[in-house]
Structure 1
Amino acid sequence: MKLSQSSRWTLPNCLTGFRFVAAPGLLWLAWQGQGIGFMVLLALAFLTDVLDGFVARLTGQVSEFGATLDSWADVVNYLTIALGCWWLWPEIVTQELPYVVMIVASCLLPAVAGFAKFGKFTSYHTWGVKLAAAAMGATLYLLFLGGPAWPFRLAAVICILAASEEIALTLLLVKPESNVRSIWFVLRRKKST
């Protein structure tokens, strides 16, 4: 079923869309050396990421379009974070580069796998990905505001595990699905059929 243009302008999709609008602002703030402004705007972007799915379920506006839009916003957000943090805190990013690469790869590799198999972007939104995003978001602040690096490194490992689950889902599924809780639900469903 194809959505009309007007039905795409829902509150959840507008919350998701904020992340696309915020990305150039984040890059500009980073380029200008405005670390605090960058972190504040990033916090708002993270907040909209948390709220969009919740609001979609609450208002009955869950859609394939919204799930795909959210996944694209995640990719834009992760790439923006990586570049912005590189501009603002190059020493820290250089020191943590393997973990930064792991986090960026965890966002890009499942997308590549989805395109390779299905010819389109996948939007699984597994519990693992939600945990990984929360871990990355929280530890990012801890790292760049002067805290220890080990929580960020642990978050990078969680991101890779979540990405591995997404890639496994792509290999397992016959067609792409949105909002899959975990691979275990898919395996259980396959076993019962």
Structure 2
Amino acid sequence: MSLAPVNIPNLLSAGRLLLAPVLLFMADQQRQDLFLSLLALSLCTDAFDGYLARKLNQTSALGARLDGWADYFTYGAMVIGLIWLWPEVFDEQIWFLYTGLICYLVPTITGLLKFRQLPSYHTWSAKLAAVLMAPAYFIMVLFDQALLFRVVVIFHIWVACEELIITMILSSNRTNVPSMFHAREMMRRQRLKIRARRDQLRRRISGQSNDKCPIE
């Protein structure tokens, strides 16, 4: 009896989920060094799990949703860590943090209301924002330089707008939608498939009707 192959990307996402409460514990204990070390580990695994999923042909809807949940909890731990470990930085950047929070909440709530599921689009723009957020956060807390962080937050406004557009375009929840243009193409193909099925059904009905007609 052969064992099922281990889904490494899903394990990495699960590991990030488990790291989130550990990050909160380290922040509560005022361990800045361990908090940043574990956060760096979490963000590094986030950078590799998508690549490994494609490389190992282990992409799945479950993996996309698991990765999305890990993102939510990790970013939540980053904000709480900022409040507990660097309160002065939090106070200085509070309006940008509120902006970032709105950029996460609005697309998420919109997707939940329409699809009854958390959206996990993983757009190219969201991936770029995530890659930039990691160094921006570390530079801000270690060197008190917040320019890159502010730029990334402003870019998140576009990320949120694109995710809202994708939600409006799609008729059902999809995972791994690279951009709003891909969403439009998905819907175009779906309409073509529906039209082809309707035409096939009409031909069948028409053929059955012709078979039933008496021959004079």
**TM-score normalised by length of structure 1:** 0.91
2:172 to 148, 172, 175: 175
Whole-Å separation in 2 of the counterparts to 1:59 and 1:172: 30
Deviations 1:61-97 (A, max 9, x none): 1000000111111111111110111100001101100
1:133 to 122, 130, 135: 130
Deviations 1:142-188 (A, max 9, x none): 10012421111101011121111111111111111111111122235
8 Å CA contact 1:23–1:77 kept in 2: the answer is: yes
1:40 maps to which residue? Answer: 37
Between the aligned residues of both structures, percent identity stands at 35
Which structure is richer in relative contact order (CA contacts within 8 A, separation 6 or more)?
A: 1
1:108 maps to which residue? Answer: 105
Does residue 92 (structure 1) correspond to residue 89 (structure 2)? The answer is yes
8 Å CA contact 1:78–1:104 kept in 2: the answer is: no
Residue identity matched to 1:117: K
Residue identity matched to 1:63: S
8 Å CA contact 1:16–1:69 kept in 2: the answer is: yes
8 Å CA contact 1:133–1:159 kept in 2: the answer is: no
Distance 1:9 1:101, change over 3 A: farther
Does residue 59 (structure 1) correspond to residue 75 (structure 2)? The answer is no
**What RMSD in Å do the two structures reach over aligned CA positions?**
1.8
**Pairwise CA distance, 1:105:** 2.5
Whole-Å separation in 1 of the counterparts to 2:93 and 2:7: 39
**Pairwise CA distance, 1:21:** 0.9
Please, which runs of 5 or more residues in structure 2 have no aligned partner? 193-216
Whole-Å separation in 2 of the counterparts to 1:118 and 1:140: 32
Whole-Å separation in 2 of the counterparts to 1:7 and 1:120: 28
Q: Which runs of 4+ in 1 moved over 4 A?
A: 6-9, 188-193
8 Å CA contact 2:123–2:179 kept in 1: the answer is: yes
**TM-score normalised by length of structure 2:** 0.81
Distance 1:34 1:130, change over 3 A: same
Q: Of the two, which has the highest radius of gyration?
A: 2
2:28 to 22, 31, 35: 31
Residue identity matched to 1:78: Y
